A and B are shown apart, each in its own frame.
Chain A
């Protein structure tokens, strides 16, 4: 988070995406630095867009995935400068998670940064989505939110493959069984 904060603090008038569902801390932090914040609760959007059956079977057709992407992230190509994905992509069915990351890649401009988190494989299916609040440039408050959900396990190799379209990937020390990733587009 610190490297993301340093980067955010050193820039002006950025367009930042937050997929964790907006909260006052993140709003104050990002807009306080003079940036615009595009907020969407990705997991809530997934629940309301797809039917119970689609979510249960996790069988999502390509047109449905495309429609979800258009509905959820309809920013123009290369119009955003950074994305706070938190741990959301890990709680989407794998093809949808990959499609969403590819869409994020498309709307980000060159050299943009992405912050993502992955639950350690050892946590297994008991992992719950986390609410992440930026308290200040060096402190992040993480707490479970919502119900337990099916989770896609990622090894370090799988994370690298997941972010294959990005130029560079940095792994940070695990905290609370969460691994932080900073990817540069």
Chain B
């Protein structure tokens, strides 16, 4: 695997990172904290939780991928999971399940498998400070009843 040159000329959005060149075949797991471009053949799982994986038009990947972003121009056989987006570009060929916050599949791409989106709940607004306690305590029967534990209703098995 060579770290340079990068593929920024061909994939402008790709930052500096590692490249598996056109004439390379790599068998084994890849994990780390660096963007990766696959132009050759990779047989193995890829784990780049904070980075982007790009499979170039000549790239072939067989294995499961977990990354922040995944962009496919070539061929992939395996499940893809991205915490942000997956893009399957025109002429790409992907067989496997896809899970992402924002999956994008261009026309003329071939895709076979299940697609599921990851829903991200919007950040909750900061809780308002509790109002100052009333000078006179409310009658006991008017207070909300508290459940033990975390306050959620208990599930009980009969």
The 5 closest A-B pairs by CB, nearest first: A31-B117, A37-B115, A36-B116, A40-B112, A22-B111
Q: Would you list which residues of chain A between 83 and 127 have a CB under 8 Å from chain B?
A: none
Contacting pair B116 A31 (CB below 8 A)? yes
Contacting pair A44 B110 (CB below 8 A)? yes
- Interface residues of B: mostly helix, strand, loop or mixed? strand
Size range of the chain B interface in the assembly: 10 to 19
Alpha-carbon distance between A22 and B116 when the two chains are bound, in angstroms: 13
Q: Which residues of the partner chain B approach A39 to less than 8 Å between Cβ atoms?
A: 111-115
Contacting pair A38 B114 (CB below 8 A)? yes
Alpha-carbon distance between A24 and B87 when the two chains are bound, in angstroms: 11
Alpha-carbon distance between A102 and B121 when the two chains are bound, in angstroms: 40
A27: Cβ under 8 A from any B Cβ: yes
Contacting pair B115 A27 (CB below 8 A)? yes
Show 22 residue pairs from A and B whose CB-CB distance is below 8 angstroms, ordered by the A residue. A21-B110, A22-B109, A23-B107, A24-B105, A24-B107, A27-B103, A27-B105, A27-B115, A31-B115, A31-B117, A36-B115, A37-B114, A37-B115, A38-B113, A38-B114, A38-B115, A39-B111, A39-B113, A39-B115, A41-B110, A41-B111, A45-B112
B104: Cβ under 8 A from any A Cβ: yes
Contacting pair A41 B112 (CB below 8 A)? yes
Contacting pair A22 B104 (CB below 8 A)? no
Give me the interface of B with A, judged by CB distance under 8 Å.
103-107, 109-117, 119
Most interface-central of A31, A32, A40, A45 (chain B CB within 10 A): A31
Q: Would you list which residues of chain A between 37 and 69 have a CB under 8 Å from chain B?
A: 37-41, 44-45
Contacting pair A22 B105 (CB below 8 A)? yes
Contacting pair A23 B105 (CB below 8 A)? yes
Q: Which residues of the partner chain B approach A15 to less than 8 Å between Cβ atoms?
A: 114
Q: Which residues of the partner chain A approach B112 to less than 8 Å between Cβ atoms?
A: 39-41, 45
Q: Which residues of the partner chain B approach A32 to less than 8 Å between Cβ atoms?
A: 117
Looking across the interface, which residue of chain B has its beta carbon closest to that of A38?
Answer: B114
Q: Which residues of the partner chain A approach B115 to less than 8 Å between Cβ atoms?
A: 22, 27, 31, 36-39
Looking across the interface, which residue of chain A has its beta carbon closest to that of B111?
Answer: A22
Alpha-carbon distance between A21 and B104 when the two chains are bound, in angstroms: 14
Chain B min CB distance to A140 (Å) = 17
Chain B min CB distance to A77 (Å) = 17
Looking across the interface, which residue of chain B has its beta carbon closest to that of A13?
Answer: B116
Q: Which residues of the partner chain A approach B106 to less than 8 Å between Cβ atoms?
A: 24
Q: Which residues of the partner chain A approach B105 to less than 8 Å between Cβ atoms?
A: 22-24, 27
